[in-house]
Copies of this chain bind each other. A is one copy, B any other.
Amino acid sequence: MAEVRSPASPLLVLCRKKKLRLTGQRRVVAYVISNAEDHPDVEEIYRRALKVDPYISIATVYRTVRLFEENGILYKRDFGSGRARYERTDEDQHYHLIDADSGQVLECEDKHIEDRLRQVAADMGYDLVTLRLSLCGRRKN
């Protein structure tokens, strides 16, 4: 767990760039999310954070992910479960395909889509800031 203290985490680099105060708890949350391969909700981030810092509070996790989101470090996603889920903004851009039957979230990518949507927004007089795109599908048999 020494890497929690390491300055190498890409999320911590972003935190410094935004001049956010680097507290122990923020390092832990950044560490947990940097190492997540999925799209955890706050409850899950909290559960993973507890393994690193058994005294961290869920209120702090809520405050931290909100802070990160406001600073463009995390995206907040809604896959319809009733809880918000988070993912890093510094990954390659991708979208989600949700299995209508199992609820499983798969990632997919199509560079063309983003360019096209950027154009749609531009035609309406807007610069595209973020994009929420998710597909819901049923497995072909």
How many copies of this protein are present in the complex? 2
- Give the docked Cα–Cα distance between A60 and B102 (Å): 28
Q: Which residues of B contact A132 (CB under 8 A)?
A: 132-136
Give 8 closest A-B pairs by Cβ, nearest first: A126-B137, A78-B78, A130-B136, A121-B137, A129-B136, A132-B134, A100-B129, A133-B133
Kindly state the interface size class of chain A when it binds its partner. 20 to 34
Determine if A138 is an interface residue (Cβ-Cβ < 8 Å).
yes
- Give the docked Cα–Cα distance between A99 and B126 (Å): 8
**B139 to A125, Cβ gap below 8 A?**
yes
**B124 to A108, Cβ gap below 8 A?**
yes
**A110 to B120, Cβ gap below 8 A?**
yes
- Give the docked Cα–Cα distance between A38 and B127 (Å): 23
